[in-house]
Structure 1
Amino acid sequence: MIRQAKGKTPRRPPKKPSSNQKDPVGVYCRVRPLGVEDNECCIEVISSSTIQLHAPEGFKTNRNGEYKEMQYSFKKVFGVSVSQIELFEHVAKPLVDDLIRGKNGLLFTYGVTGSGKTFTMTGSPGQGGLLPRSLDMIFKSIGPYQAKRYVFKTDDKNGLEIQNEVDALLERQRRENNLPVSKPTSSRQKLDPEIADMIKPEEAFEGDGVDEDSSYSVFVSYIEIYNNYIYDLLEETQEDAIKPKWNGGGTPVRPNTEFIPPQSKILREDQTHNMYVAGCMEVEVKSAEEAFQVFWRGQKKRKVANTCLNRESSRSHSVLIIKLAQAPLDADGDNILQDKNQVTVSQLCLVDLAGSERTGRTGAEGTRIREAGNINQSLLNLRTCIEILRENQMCGTNRMVPYRDSKVTHLFKNYFDGEGKVRMVVCVNPKADDYEETLLVMRFAEMTQEVEVARPVDRPICGFTPGRRHRNQAFKEELSRKLEERGGPSDRDLPTVLSHMVHSLPPLPSCELTDPHDDITLPRLIEALQNRYRIRQMMIDEYNQAANRMKSMLQELDNSIISKDNFIHEQNGKLTEKDKAIQLNKAEIERLEKKTKMQEHKIDILQKTTKIYEDDKRSLQHELGTREQRLQREQSEKRRMEQRMHGVVTDTQHKWEKECDRRVNAMQLEMQNKLWVKDEKLKQLKAIVTESKPSGRPDPPPRQTQPKRPSREERLPAKRSASPSPIPTTTPVRPLHRRSRSAGGEKWVDHKPSSSLDLGTVLQPVIPNSIQVSTPSEKALSKCDRYVLTHQQVASDGEIETKLIKGEVIKTRGGGQSVQFTDIETLKQQLTTVPGRKRKSSEGKPANGASTDGAWTDTETRCSVAMEMRAGSKMGPGYEHHGITKRRKP
């Protein structure tokens, strides 16, 4: 196969359109009727230009898992009840009118497999599609003005040449002689039953803008793009290579040569930078039936296959190119003007794109998978080109459009660059199974209609006066009428009369003389010759009379022409004045056009400024939304922080309430202890006063011995009994304070960090002969022998726990000091709720009236907490550890 090498053709700058006006790509939507086996519909036509898509059950389209309805707008929407003729009238008829006026057009169908693209383009018997109706409208419009066959001739370079009548006649004779006998040479051949009666006579259209002073000719070519290769469907060898030949017997004879596959064609660029298929066969047709017969011959060669979604699925993109050649007549209006520069060629491309499909749904295997991949890739390239065109037009960028990545986009490059109108018919199937693919088609269609294509300019008008064909025909008719009025034959009857007169001459008698004395033959011959001479003179007279009448008529015509020339001269003077007025109007129009361009330039600047402001507005709105979200997050964080701080405050308040209760209870306990000590002293004093001897002599002083330390049981108050306890008879002796064994010259370094808290308890550790520091130093350590560190931490029950870490200061060999820790003592507070009771003077009086202030029986009732004095282990001199223990009532 022959492939076109990429990068061989040098890049040329795109041809600038001569018109600044642009039109958007016309996108239409057609909804196929729902099948019998399909129950759920996902498309609803809500207006003549809008459709709505409903997500089927089980298909979630947003993050919340809800169904979402989407609307898409088009230039026009055709529902299931719209006929083919109505679709053609809105979509293809304007393109055919532009084709007759010399402008190009591109129309293609797009959609998923099985959405009705081929039916929309081709149709069926009785319901012709866009293609047969376009052909019928073309020939209905230019039928009386068609040139003879082979007057226009292709030059294989996407151009046309003009031949004169003689060369065209010789070409017809040569081609008719080369045609095989089995093939008919006329266009009145019998149509295929499959394509017969595609269009009803009452549904025919005629186009506007046909120039009566021009001759037209139509050329048709039909290609397909299969696996990104271009094949000619009208090429004869493609069909003849596989046809068997018959030897007259019952079995076909295969050709001796092997099967030659069709050769792919390449794309080239002509002198006007338009793309065309090199070597493609172009057939000149003279009627709509002949053109559609040629199309149907190529349609049978198109590659189709059976899939799970479509019984005859198109496996290639088909393109029918209708080329219309138009040339003006000469000044007399008789023949075509032999000037190639005056030939106008316009073409209309009707494209039936293959449908996008998913191999999982179609069940494709092997070759079908490769075909589907190439189809999807070409459609993706088309979508990419449309996206870049839209971006360049809307954002002002200058990105290169990748037309060369696909044969489809490369072939139609000129249309998107401003060589004609572009229209697309989006075919959709409303069944629920195609919902996901339909969404992609809708997004592509919505993006395509935002692309603008430059409007083509009108073709220049020939410089001859209009109405030449009509004037020439009128002159011939007037000449015939005047000849008939004068009694002579008309220009059409004169040859007939002359031929009749020649055939009416009497025949000559026999001139054979057998007898020299024959007097009959010669006189008879003389008489016949005289009669023929007389008839000849009559014919001459009749011819002269006819010539004289013709001369007089011509003289009258000359006079009338002179008068008409005078009239034309007058009209030319008026036309000159009109031309001057037209020139003034043109100058005014140019001034207004300049003013319009200036206003358009200002409008463009304002639009760009508006776009910039809109972009700033969108960015500011986005930033505002971001800041609002951030503010909301900060407010929510603030609320959470407030709640957390409120909880912390509540916990702290509860903790301090507990601490206050504990301190109040401790103060109450301290006051009760002081009161108890006071009561004990008063009791002892009472006992000393009341216990005097009867003789009045004092007892000798007791022996000064070391008082015995009372045990814990003795120091605790006795249990309450029914009878009061006896009053002690001995005088209580106050126990002496026991000094520490280390009361010598030891000094302590009391290291209390500045972060230590004063717990406010009654009993505090006291270290005499100490140096209190917040940070230990070498100077302080050199003056002392012992070291103690006060460390506080929070216990597991939430109370503060104090640890006294003790050690000895040892001098080192280097002259420094080091501390060796020897003991750790822990101090911990505990809080209990002690039911306190105030002492009343009226309670506990004995029956005999004695005072009961010092009685031990009420001690347990008044205070349920006992004190325990315990010597600290391994403490320094003069140091005692006072702990508080708690006891409950039994």
Structure 2
Amino acid sequence: MKPARSKTPAREPINQLKGSNVISKDPVQVYCRLRPMHSPSDVSCMKVVNDTKVIISSPESAINFRTMTNKEIHTTFSRVFTHDIKQREIFKVVAFPLVENLIHRRNGLLFTYGVTGSGKTYTMTGKPQDAGIIPRCLDVIFNTIASYQTKKFVFKPNKLNGFDVQSKGDVMERNELYPNIQRIGRLGKLRKVDSDGDPIVNHGCNESLTILVKPDHVYSVFITYVEIYNNNVYDLLDEEDIRSKTLQVREDGNKNMYVHAVTEVEVRSAEEAFELFQRGQRKRRIGHTALNPESSRSHSIFTIRLVQAPLDSKGEYVTQDKQDLCISQLSLVDLAGSERTNRTKNTGQRLQEAGKINNSLMTLRSCLEILRENQSQGTNKMVPYRESKLTLLFKNYFDGEGQVRVIVCANPRADDYDETIQVMKFAEITQEVQTPMRSNAIKLDLGFTPGRRQPNKLFKEARSKFEREGRPEVANLDIDLGLVYSLSGPFPQLKNITPDSNQIHTLMQFLEQRISKRDIIREQIQKKEDEFRKRLVMMEKEIIHLKTESATVKAAYSQEKEKNFQLNRRINDVEGQNNKISFDLNTAEEMIRDLKQKLRNRNLALNQRSIDVQKAKQKYNTKIQAETDKMNKELDLKERQMREQFNNQMKGKDERLRLIKQILEDNGIKTNAISSKDQIAESAKIISLDKNSRISRKDRLPVSNPRYRRSQSADRWIDHRPETLVPIGTVLQPRMQRRRSITRLTSPKEITEGASRYALIAQEHDTDGELETKIYKADILPTSGGGAQVVFNDMECLKQTSPKARKRTGPWEEKDVDEVNVSSETKRLRV
């Protein structure tokens, strides 16, 4: 049932093209291809009268056989192909003109229509040994633009049905980032396996035809492959699951319909493009029906987009202006088969698929009927393109954006008569539709010299040859390539010329191009001649001026030459002196290197000696510590022996005090006010830490300045406290605000660096076993040799006694020490 269109609002005809570029109307050309019978016993209902006419006879098994008034139907096509016609012949007649239009910047649409199992997919794809239309189209395209292709990534899709021109730097960067992109090229003849494990059909070159192109243009090929399943668009080249993502059909800025966000791949060879087509073909939805075990359940659209742009004035790089690009496309469509459910026995999902297929085909038929009615009767009815995604994508082609051709595939069996009649009615309607033809509105010639690409190539080859020969002065010459020109390529081959042949039209186009190029070259030669004459006049004036300057320069040159002679003599004398100084300097540097080597050796020896001494000290200290721990453990057990040892020690101390007193009296120091215990501190008042300082053996006086005094506020103390001290537990402590505490004295530098005062704390037991703490204080004085001396000048004694302890008195105590019985007392001696 046809949809009602009486209520369709009137509007301006959509097939009315704007501008004056509409030159004529081109009817849709419909071709018929008959497939062979399944078996010899099948009865045919179709008879081929000639190359353009078919007679269809209704069999007795037809549905309306008894009510038919006309038992035979005569149908005329642009060309009828019987089952014995080869694929190559069909391609040359039907698809090759569309490929020519693609090269010449005009769009094209070719789709196959027919019932299920009539040979639509075979016509488009073919078999490995007999390729169909799609692989042959790819062969012709790449045979034509083989030597005119751009580098990869020069043209970049902008996701809005257009392209951007990449700069030279961006192209090199992307080629470096993606160096291992798969390029099949001539390796496509090898047998490969895809990701699913299925072997990829090998594709060899099936077509050797070429098309005449402009040599000053560059080309790049992009392909897309989508399917329309249940009125939803899916991307067959997407690596992800195509069922999870549906695409939308949108309109770009030029009112052209396109599939938004579709995967568009740039291909460099026919093998690479055909491999992508096969991978998409494996993702296409097919199903088993009663009429065809591998029936296509979707419409597939394989689109080839050709981007071409002119080269710059030197014929080397693509012009960067986006307005100079020309994009043409060829859509090759394999429609799903129309079918009746009572014959296919479809149920469930297959029944739903068949309904969607029949609805989309019915919408296509309705659009063609309204187009025919608007063109024949002058009505303005709206064409329902938007009722189906299929017709929405075809909208631009029927509005004049390209040439449309249809291949109707038919099965001549009598059993398929009812479906074949519907196909023939569709063909009849389609043939009566006319599409407007537009002239080429985009002019890619920018006024540059024709044939500039080949001279630039020859010039670059000559320059590289000079560079290899070691002649850079010739290789760097800047030559004007405008004088090297070419009208065009060789004349097209003319065979079997007839008045209606397309070869005459091709020859006319070729001659028109030559004439236009010749006029351009003449204008450029005239301009260059005028420029050359002007340059000659300027050069003559410059020569006269240069001759005058040359005479002046020669006189100045003779004077400068004499000066240079005198300067050269002085330079020779200075160079002789420099050579002598350089010799002395080298000798001194050698001596310095020898001395530095000796110094390094000596430092290494000293360091090694220091390390050995340090190891010996460490070993000795470890041994002393072990002995000290052992003695501390035995103290409690040997208390009586210790008391006797203390008595003996006191006797020894008295003897030493007597000797120290005698030494001090010999040196003239008064000792009347010094007690016997204070003489111990006095005997050790001078200790020299400087290895360069010495004390005279005669007078034993220090070499430091005795009058040297420092500010007390700047005093820094060295607090020397051995680790074996017993805590005294009292507040009577010496006052040292700025001090640095040490437990062991390993080097004199620990006392002399950054300090001015020194304090040494020592503890011992008296004869009664009470604890006695002594603090020996000293000044650190600089010596005349650059070192320092430690001069003891004060001593504090802190003695702790127990109130309950038994007091001992003796005659020696009354003579030497004046003690006061308190819990703690401090004695100080000032020197």
- TM-score bin (small chain): 0.5 to 0.7
Task: Identify which of 295, 310, 313 aligns with 1:331.
Answer: 313
d(CA) in 2 for partners of 1:297, 1:119: 17
Task: Identify which of 131, 150, 153 aligns with 1:150.
Answer: 153
d(CA) in 1 for partners of 2:436, 2:117: 33
d(CA) in 1 for partners of 2:108, 2:428: 21
TM-fit CA distance, 1:204: 2.2
Partner of 1:206: 210
Task: Identify which of 315, 318, 327 aligns with 2:300.
Answer: 318
8 Å CA contact 2:110–2:405 kept in 1: the answer is yes
| Structure 1 counterpart SS, 2:153 | coil
Partner of 2:97: 94
| Structure 1 counterpart SS, 2:342 | helix
d(CA) in 1 for partners of 2:482, 2:222: 46
8 Å CA contact 1:219–1:282 kept in 2: the answer is yes
| Structure 2 counterpart SS, 1:412 | helix
Partner of 1:166: 169
Partner of 2:457: 473
Task: Identify which of 572, 578, 583 aligns with 2:523.
Answer: 572
| Structure 1 counterpart SS, 2:22 | coil
Partner of 1:709: none
TM-fit CA distance, 1:173: 2.5
Task: Identify which of 208, 218, 223 aligns with 1:220.
Answer: 223
Matched, 1:428 2:428: no
8 Å CA contact 2:124–2:133 kept in 1: the answer is yes
The correspondence of residues 34-433 of structure 1 with structure 2, limited to 5 A, is: 34-36=37-39, 38-59=41-62, 68-176=71-179, 188=187, 190-192=190-192, 196=201, 198=203, 201=206, 203-208=207-212, 210-238=213-241, 261-433=243-415
| Structure 1 counterpart SS, 2:438 | coil
TM-fit CA distance, 1:496: 3.8
* Alpha-carbon RMSD: 3.1
d(CA) in 1 for partners of 2:360, 2:336: 10
TM-fit CA distance, 1:64: 6.4
d(CA) in 2 for partners of 1:233, 1:115: 24
d(CA) in 2 for partners of 1:73, 1:568: 47
d(CA) in 1 for partners of 2:525, 2:184: 53
* Closer/same/farther in 2, CA of residues 386 and 65 from structure 1, 3 Å limit: closer
8 Å CA contact 1:187–1:290 kept in 2: the answer is no
* Closer/same/farther in 2, CA of residues 12 and 26 from structure 1, 3 Å limit: closer
TM-fit CA distance, 1:475: 3.8
TM-fit CA distance, 1:380: 0.3
d(CA) in 2 for partners of 1:114, 1:65: 27
8 Å CA contact 1:118–1:352 kept in 2: the answer is yes
TM-fit CA distance, 1:236: 1.2
Deviation readout 1:217-244 (Å, 9 max, x if unpaired): 00001000000000001111127xxxxx
d(CA) in 1 for partners of 2:106, 2:179: 33
8 Å CA contact 2:449–2:482 kept in 1: the answer is no
- Count of aligned pairs between the two proteins: 475
* Closer/same/farther in 2, CA of residues 70 and 184 from structure 1, 3 Å limit: closer
Deviation readout 1:132-173 (Å, 9 max, x if unpaired): 100111000001000000010000000000112220121123
d(CA) in 1 for partners of 2:356, 2:41: 29
TM-fit CA distance, 1:39: 1.6
Consecutive unaligned residues of structure 2, counting only runs of 5 or more, are 1-10, 194-198, 486-517, 528-831
d(CA) in 2 for partners of 1:436, 1:569: 62
d(CA) in 2 for partners of 1:137, 1:235: 26
Partner of 1:596: none
TM-fit CA distance, 1:197: 5.0
* Residue identity matched to 2:290: C
8 Å CA contact 2:220–2:306 kept in 1: the answer is yes
* Closer/same/farther in 2, CA of residues 472 and 42 from structure 1, 3 Å limit: same
d(CA) in 2 for partners of 1:559, 1:167: 29
8 Å CA contact 2:117–2:337 kept in 1: the answer is yes
* Residue identity matched to 2:443: P
TM-score between both structures, scaled by the size of structure 1: 0.50
TM-fit CA distance, 1:313: 0.1
Partner of 2:698: none
* Closer/same/farther in 2, CA of residues 34 and 496 from structure 1, 3 Å limit: same
Deviation readout 1:533-584 (Å, 9 max, x if unpaired): xxxxxxxxxx6xx73x679x989x899899xxxx9999339999xxxxxxxx
TM-fit CA distance, 1:66: 6.9
d(CA) in 1 for partners of 2:520, 2:28: 49
Partner of 1:16: 17
TM-fit CA distance, 1:465: 2.6
d(CA) in 2 for partners of 1:461, 1:570: 17
* Closer/same/farther in 2, CA of residues 346 and 226 from structure 1, 3 Å limit: same
Consecutive unaligned residues of structure 1, counting only runs of 5 or more, are 1-9, 240-260, 481-490, 499-542, 577-890
d(CA) in 1 for partners of 2:80, 2:288: 30
Deviation readout 1:779-802 (Å, 9 max, x if unpaired): xxxxxxxxxxxxxxxxxxxxxxxx
TM-score between both structures, scaled by the size of structure 2: 0.54
* Closer/same/farther in 2, CA of residues 191 and 284 from structure 1, 3 Å limit: farther
Identity over the aligned pairs, expressed in percent? 46
8 Å CA contact 1:60–1:66 kept in 2: the answer is no
d(CA) in 1 for partners of 2:414, 2:335: 23
8 Å CA contact 2:111–2:334 kept in 1: the answer is yes
* Residue identity matched to 2:26: D
Deviation readout 1:848-871 (Å, 9 max, x if unpaired): xxxxxxxxxxxxxxxxxxxxxxxx
TM-fit CA distance, 1:474: 3.9
Task: Identify which of 438, 448, 464 aligns with 1:492.
Answer: 464
8 Å CA contact 1:215–1:328 kept in 2: the answer is yes
d(CA) in 1 for partners of 2:277, 2:521: 54
d(CA) in 2 for partners of 1:456, 1:141: 24
Matched, 1:449 2:439: no
TM-fit CA distance, 1:61: 5.3
d(CA) in 1 for partners of 2:451, 2:335: 43
d(CA) in 2 for partners of 1:476, 1:573: 23
* Closer/same/farther in 2, CA of residues 365 and 473 from structure 1, 3 Å limit: same
TM-fit CA distance, 1:341: 0.2
| Structure 1 counterpart SS, 2:80 | strand
d(CA) in 1 for partners of 2:139, 2:270: 5
| Structure 2 counterpart SS, 1:394 | helix
Partner of 1:461: 444
TM-fit CA distance, 1:492: 3.0
TM-fit CA distance, 1:308: 0.9
d(CA) in 2 for partners of 1:569, 1:419: 31
* Closer/same/farther in 2, CA of residues 164 and 200 from structure 1, 3 Å limit: closer
* Residue identity matched to 1:335: Y
* Closer/same/farther in 2, CA of residues 342 and 437 from structure 1, 3 Å limit: same
d(CA) in 2 for partners of 1:60, 1:232: 40
The correspondence of residues 526-675 of structure 1 with structure 2, limited to 5 A, is: 547=473, 571-572=522-523
Deviation readout 1:42-90 (Å, 9 max, x if unpaired): 1111100000111113437566667711110001111111000000000
8 Å CA contact 1:224–1:232 kept in 2: the answer is yes
8 Å CA contact 2:215–2:451 kept in 1: the answer is yes
